Structure 1
């Protein structure tokens, strides 16, 4: 018998012969067998498709190149087996779609990966100010950290968390690390930092420096002298200047390290949630060189970097794993850093503020409204960071005004974080067509801090109210906002399902959801958020072969053990990009 093969576009190799000894050309063309040869066939474990409102399983899945070509029973899957097909027995492990990252900063994760780790446990060892000092002193002993110091001249640490420290660090503490080199540590929220005296000097910050709009330079009590702590736009100005010292080779190293971290946690799509020109150029360069392992969708910082919205990468499809999805706005700060903009005062105000302190906005109302309207006019999907309920109100109002002026259509503006959203605001999200990308992982990392210092009860119980969103007839996505925390998918899932704090208290028990809903918020729902629900987020014929293999089924383990699940393998567009070593 003779087998005749032809390439059928992007679908793959299709068998066009039949079992007669000598088929005529007309027979071969007019009666092709609708069977496509698979690269891989997976079977022998729980294959969770994430299709439907309740869990659906398949016996087998077949992939060819970048695509899924079959999902269903094992016998039918084996019809796609030919000479070079790899048969992969899961041996009881669980396969499901790759995780889709609803919001984070992949370029920032790269920076985190090459500087000193000053996160508290369980992600680091910095639980006192003295421990931060010792970690920074030892930074040049690690290869990538030494490279960063040599390239930039700065000693940088990422992740300090005053909620877990014995006191708030100041410039005097960081001067103990060095008085010759600039030293900067970035808060775990990414919205504040602490600079030593040399870093303040190089940044032109002194007693005569005014607070920038949308930012604060904290002062030594009783004077105008900066104490080293910089909030919001004061912090971002220093960080953006530092970023300019990072050359292309270091940027490429950072991006490679970041991708590996996402793949390790099962993410096959990552987000660059506030892309500046440096981040965009690094991603573009990696795309051109074929160095992206997973899909990355970037959102341009609208205030500073909207010029690259004219790029050919601003498209609904990816070019070598990269595309621009829209723009990003920032309407306030961080609740754990006490810079988010609330309508009611903080439970305990931060240093230097009175009992009426409610945080502050990034923009005045009219400026905020104009930015959203401009995004709508340009058909740019807009992601807006708004943590405090006052900032959330500003965003909802901006969308409502733009909808009234320009007419409603499927723009999917996204509320990023929405931590302190009120019940009365939720219905307005639905009416305005706003998609909520929530942050329930806060319940673990800062739940105790929100309850005891930031918000108090009952406000703290209602942060990231996932069940209230579902009850309103909407869906949501759940994110980690790395490098605010590590891009740990199972911390996300655990927090979304359990809402357990560091001290093992449950914050907002009525807002817990089941594990299947938690998985939906990490797969098909964020795919919808990105306008990618037709190509990602579930196992279905024709969708991308973005798959992950886990050691156990998240739907069949005790909820309190979800955080302990492990990714065995991550497959991006049919290629293995991570495999756990035994």
Structure 2
């Protein structure tokens, strides 16, 4: 990813940074440097940059996983996916039986009805696990949860409830599914904790770093965090350890602070940045998820006729929030899944730019799955970036084709080809733990554009080459984080951060890109072999 030296056989490292890149004669023979040949049969790429993931990838693995697809844990263990409701209930029953505190709630994660034939997980299903213990299962999208009857009763959610996001069953009573912010916050209050933003521990951060190492990631985001004092202290302590094997970029959740408070907090946090901890960005969440039918879509709306989704930030409030951070010189990362949400976000950034032009702001739309060519052209004219959720093509491509978007719009899902043609700087991401943290898999999705059922979506117009996809998980992702001056490519002056691979991705068939084994990582010259179960 270094245009002046696309490939090389040797890299010289001193004090955690790259001194030179070239051949043996150029570097070693002329300098007398010590030769470290432990990677002579490996391939070094720039350390992968995951521009949209969450610390929940570390936190969730302390809870039972109930998703449909196999996942690899931070210890390197393969955890089997579950094919149906009975298998999910059985795993929850096993977890509940192992709990010693009868008052403690049981949380699990990873469920998505679209992955098991559209079958819902109801309160009656969770009542089979326990009628006395509170139970919450968080969806793979993290925008929806399912709870058992006792949780609904304690939260006083019944057929008379008028809070948005409480889904009713065929019997006219709450089904156990709660969506969006208002309904779930009410549930979190009666549970006494929020598993999505609970008390962060050093173990959570270590699991996150271990998962990163397994996948060759050396720079990773936590792209939506309240940044409570405890979290800030845990991150500070972790980042100052020599053996901490990742560079961490947290984003402050805008919902947790007023814009005025947020601006001041970011200024304070940036003063504590170090080589492995980079504060400075703010995350706005405008809508929900397409597969959860909580994203906001423009006309003609959802392909199957479902009602439009939820606004997480009211459209009339968004411009003032964007303007406050824009005027303070802070970079925004804005979650928009549906194209209506994207349009509202573009309007807000445009208004902010007209009122106070800012060169190189790099405000970045995150996910942005349904954007069309006209919206990409607006991004270009506004100086914006986009980070596209390529993994969606595999995990939900079939559902989008059949249910949510229909064939035409599904073929432009996560339009990396359009971004490339228009000239919008773009990255691709996993949104881990929504989908597995694995940049090579994400690159494979962008190159091959095939769904889990084998349907190919928009490959002729939206697919990337292998080189373009690798750029999107290295130097391009670093650009969207304003870190491309220190990470993202192997060139003199940058941190010595490498992904260590067993094979050259330019020499394997494109359809095998996801299968390349990763030995581990190098971060600032410190070598870490990936854990293997």
Do they fold alike, i.e. is TM over 0.5?
A: yes
Query: Are the counterparts in 1 of residues 28 and 35 from structure 2 also a CA contact under 8 Å?
Result: no
Name the SS for the 1:319 alignment partner: coil
Looking at structure 1, the residues matched to 356 and 385 of structure 2 have their Cα atoms a distance apart, in angstroms, of 19
Q: In the alignment, which of 59, 83, 86 is matched to residue 127 of structure 1?
A: 83
Looking at structure 2, the residues matched to 554 and 519 of structure 1 have their Cα atoms a distance apart, in angstroms, of 9
Say yes or no: does 1:102 pair with 2:51: yes
Q: CA deviation at 1:323?
A: 2.3
Q: Deviations over 1:70-96 (max 9, x none)?
A: 10111122147668x352253332111
**Measured at CA, do residues 546 and 403 of structure 1 come closer, stay the same or move farther in structure 2, by a change above 3 Å?**
same
**Measured at CA, do residues 222 and 508 of structure 1 come closer, stay the same or move farther in structure 2, by a change above 3 Å?**
same
Say yes or no: does 1:511 pair with 2:466: no
Name the SS for the 1:544 alignment partner: coil
Q: CA deviation at 1:325?
A: 2.5
Which one has more relative contact order, counting CA pairs under 8 Å at least 6 apart? 2
Say yes or no: does 1:139 pair with 2:88: no
Q: CA deviation at 1:62?
A: 1.0
Counterpart in the other structure of 1:325: 280
Q: Which moved more, 1:161-170 or 1:275-284?
A: 275-284
Q: Deviations over 1:147-203 (max 9, x none)?
A: xx8598121111101111241111111111111211111111111010112233344
Counterpart in the other structure of 1:547: 498
Counterpart in the other structure of 2:488: 537
Counterpart in the other structure of 2:75: none
Query: Are the counterparts in 2 of residues 62 and 80 from structure 1 also a CA contact under 8 Å?
Result: no
Counterpart in the other structure of 2:180: 232
Q: How does 1:34-433 map to 2 (within 5 A)?
A: 50-52=1-3, 56-79=6-29, 85-105=34-54, 107-123=55-71, 124-139=80-95, 153-166=104-117, 167-212=119-164, 216-221=165-170, 223=172, 225-234=173-182, 236-237=184-185, 238=187, 242-243=193-194, 251-278=201-228, 279-287=231-239, 292-305=244-257, 307=261, 309-310=264-265, 314-315=269-270, 318-319=273-274, 321-349=276-304, 355=305, 357-433=307-383
Looking at structure 2, the residues matched to 322 and 235 of structure 1 have their Cα atoms a distance apart, in angstroms, of 34
**Measured at CA, do residues 236 and 374 of structure 1 come closer, stay the same or move farther in structure 2, by a change above 3 Å?**
farther
Query: Are the counterparts in 2 of residues 342 and 359 from structure 1 also a CA contact under 8 Å?
Result: yes
Query: Are the counterparts in 2 of residues 151 and 247 from structure 1 also a CA contact under 8 Å?
Result: no
Looking at structure 2, the residues matched to 321 and 497 of structure 1 have their Cα atoms a distance apart, in angstroms, of 31
Looking at structure 2, the residues matched to 451 and 484 of structure 1 have their Cα atoms a distance apart, in angstroms, of 20
Q: Deviations over 1:357-415 (max 9, x none)?
A: 22232233220111101111221111110010000000000000011111232211010
Query: Are the counterparts in 1 of residues 391 and 435 from structure 2 also a CA contact under 8 Å?
Result: no
Q: Deviations over 1:494-516 (max 9, x none)?
A: 10111111112211112111000
Looking at structure 2, the residues matched to 493 and 289 of structure 1 have their Cα atoms a distance apart, in angstroms, of 31
Query: Are the counterparts in 2 of residues 295 and 318 from structure 1 also a CA contact under 8 Å?
Result: no
Counterpart in the other structure of 1:22: none
Counterpart in the other structure of 1:8: none
Looking at structure 1, the residues matched to 206 and 466 of structure 2 have their Cα atoms a distance apart, in angstroms, of 31
**Measured at CA, do residues 165 and 504 of structure 1 come closer, stay the same or move farther in structure 2, by a change above 3 Å?**
same
Q: CA deviation at 1:285?
A: 4.3
Name the SS for the 1:57 alignment partner: coil
Q: CA deviation at 1:447?
A: 0.8
Q: CA deviation at 1:312?
A: 6.4
Looking at structure 1, the residues matched to 306 and 202 of structure 2 have their Cα atoms a distance apart, in angstroms, of 46
Count residues with an aligned counterpart.
515
Query: Are the counterparts in 2 of residues 71 and 77 from structure 1 also a CA contact under 8 Å?
Result: yes
CA RMSD of aligned residues (A): 2.5
Name the SS for the 2:479 alignment partner: helix
Say yes or no: does 1:573 pair with 2:524: yes
Looking at structure 2, the residues matched to 256 and 140 of structure 1 have their Cα atoms a distance apart, in angstroms, of 26
Query: Are the counterparts in 2 of residues 191 and 236 from structure 1 also a CA contact under 8 Å?
Result: no
Counterpart in the other structure of 2:76: none
Query: Are the counterparts in 2 of residues 277 and 305 from structure 1 also a CA contact under 8 Å?
Result: no
TM-score by length of 1: 0.83
Counterpart in the other structure of 1:9: none
Q: CA deviation at 1:343?
A: 0.7
Q: CA deviation at 1:289?
A: 6.3
Query: Are the counterparts in 2 of residues 383 and 415 from structure 1 also a CA contact under 8 Å?
Result: yes
Query: Are the counterparts in 2 of residues 151 and 245 from structure 1 also a CA contact under 8 Å?
Result: no
**Measured at CA, do residues 289 and 305 of structure 1 come closer, stay the same or move farther in structure 2, by a change above 3 Å?**
farther
Name the SS for the 2:394 alignment partner: helix
Looking at structure 2, the residues matched to 100 and 560 of structure 1 have their Cα atoms a distance apart, in angstroms, of 22
Q: Deviations over 1:45-75 (max 9, x none)?
A: xxxxx1129x811121011121011101111
Q: CA deviation at 1:287?
A: 3.4
**Measured at CA, do residues 100 and 176 of structure 1 come closer, stay the same or move farther in structure 2, by a change above 3 Å?**
same
Q: Deviations over 1:16-66 (max 9, x none)?
A: xxxxxxxxxxxxxxxxxxxxxxxxxxxxxxxxxx1129x811121011121
Query: Are the counterparts in 2 of residues 567 and 580 from structure 1 also a CA contact under 8 Å?
Result: no
**Measured at CA, do residues 291 and 305 of structure 1 come closer, stay the same or move farther in structure 2, by a change above 3 Å?**
farther
Q: CA deviation at 1:347?
A: 4.5
Query: Are the counterparts in 2 of residues 568 and 580 from structure 1 also a CA contact under 8 Å?
Result: no
**Measured at CA, do residues 206 and 288 of structure 1 come closer, stay the same or move farther in structure 2, by a change above 3 Å?**
farther
Where does structure 1 lack aligned partners over 5 or more consecutive residues? 1-49, 350-354
Counterpart in the other structure of 1:20: none
Looking at structure 1, the residues matched to 287 and 244 of structure 2 have their Cα atoms a distance apart, in angstroms, of 32
Larger Rg, first or second structure (1 or 2): 1
Looking at structure 2, the residues matched to 374 and 387 of structure 1 have their Cα atoms a distance apart, in angstroms, of 23
Query: Are the counterparts in 2 of residues 340 and 388 from structure 1 also a CA contact under 8 Å?
Result: yes
Query: Are the counterparts in 2 of residues 275 and 305 from structure 1 also a CA contact under 8 Å?
Result: no
Q: CA deviation at 1:553?
A: 0.8
Counterpart in the other structure of 1:35: none
